[in-house]
Chains A and B, each alone.
Chain A
Amino acid sequence: MSWLLYRNEEMLMLGSDLVMYDEEFKQIDTELNRLLAQANAKVVFVVDKNGQLIAATGETENLDTTSLASLTAGNIAATGGMAKLLGEKEFSILFHEGQRDNIHISIISQRVILVVIFDQRSSLGLVRLRVKKSAEVLSGIFGQLLKKVETGKGPGKAADSPFAEITDEDIDKLFG
């Protein structure tokens, strides 16, 4: 499920809307860029478990990142279903090897998915090593974000919210 609401063991379960603020977004972006460089990767992105793309960096111009995000989440969900059937909590790393490009997928803090796409300029070993380090950093940032949302300290609650004064007319306009 989603993000806030209840704590279970050491993890934060997901339970309401995912919210992203500027400060954390920048931190995530910085970390993804560092990972991109250190792992010699082509593309790095994070997706939430429901398939929403959170941030992406690298050679994304000709890449359909929205679809990739959705399929990644589907992939993780299906693998998670398999894990459950086997009595495993989850399979935290997936790796797909192609002729040219490879995809390394890992779950961070049981709530977001980190995806690294790389080719022969890098190697699985290097990617795994760098992902491990970045996972810790990203986990910290997402923890901080959750805390902010939980305590309602982030901007954009009440008055700043895009929904505060939304009208039927606003919604009708969406469909032209």
Chain B
Amino acid sequence: MSFINYSSREINCKIVYYGPGLCGKTTNLQYIYKKTNPDSKGKMISLATETERTLFFDFLPLALGEIRGFKTRFHLYTVPGQVFYDASRKLILKGVDGVVFVADSQIERMEANIESMENLRLNLAEQGYNLDAVPFIIQYNKRDLPNVVPLDELKKSLNPKGLLDFEAVATDGTGVFDTLKSIAKLVIMELKKGQEGG
């Protein structure tokens, strides 16, 4: 749910990075944090365990500039990927404006990808959203690893509808900003549509 403040002329939107455990959601945010001008980012907050596994969420506020005189801010969140943190994942999806699904391209994580995608659909539905109607981008991460599933197979399993998707290597930043830009664009376009509609 975006927040449009006509008083301070600001637009705030919420984007959630979703995906199975260890797929690279936090790494996406860390790369964005590292590469963003200090003036346009807030502190990155990671609620993680001692072994750096996300416990509740990571949070990164980004101020991107102005659209038609309105300061535009994106609040990026990740969910904890591990299966047993489902209750937390549901909470973080509340009020989401756009979702990035980060898939782990490794063969042995295919099942986890599919399970997480189903979990996303289910948890969104519980919050009253339809995954097919929410701004949504898929990122195939870890493309640099040797044991990856071929792209067309990934697409077939995870993106049968042919939505916008990107290959990525979040550790070196490949595809990270392409993903972010695309989801930001989809979210803003969706806002525009919503405003026109009512």
Contacts and interface: CB of A to CB of B under 8 A. Distances in A.
B42 A164 contact: no
B68 A165 contact: yes
Interface string A14-27: 11111111101110
B192 interface: yes
Interface residues of A, number: 51
Contacts of A78: 56, 88, 91
Interface stretch (B59-67, B104-112, B114-122, B165-173): B59-67
A43 B59 CA distance: 22
Interface string B1-18: 111111111011010000
B68 A162 contact: yes
A81 B1 contact: no
A52 B64 CA distance: 16
Interface in A154-175: 154-158, 161-166, 168, 170-175
21 contacts: A2-B1, A17-B191, A19-B6, A20-B3, A20-B6, A20-B8, A25-B5, A48-B3, A49-B95, A52-B12, A64-B42, A67-B45, A70-B61, A78-B88, A81-B91, A162-B69, A164-B192, A166-B189, A171-B67, A171-B184, A175-B64
The 7 A-B residue pairs whose C-beta atoms are closest, nearest first, are: A50-B95, A25-B7, A2-B1, A163-B192, A77-B91, A52-B3, A174-B64
Interface of A: 1-3, 14-22, 24-26, 48-52, 54, 64, 66-67, 70-71, 74, 77-78, 80-81, 152, 154-158, 161-166, 168, 170-176
Given A166-B67, A173-B65, 13 more contacts: A2-B1, A17-B1, A17-B4, A51-B14, A66-B61, A74-B91, A81-B87, A154-B6, A162-B68, A162-B69, A164-B192, A171-B67, A174-B64
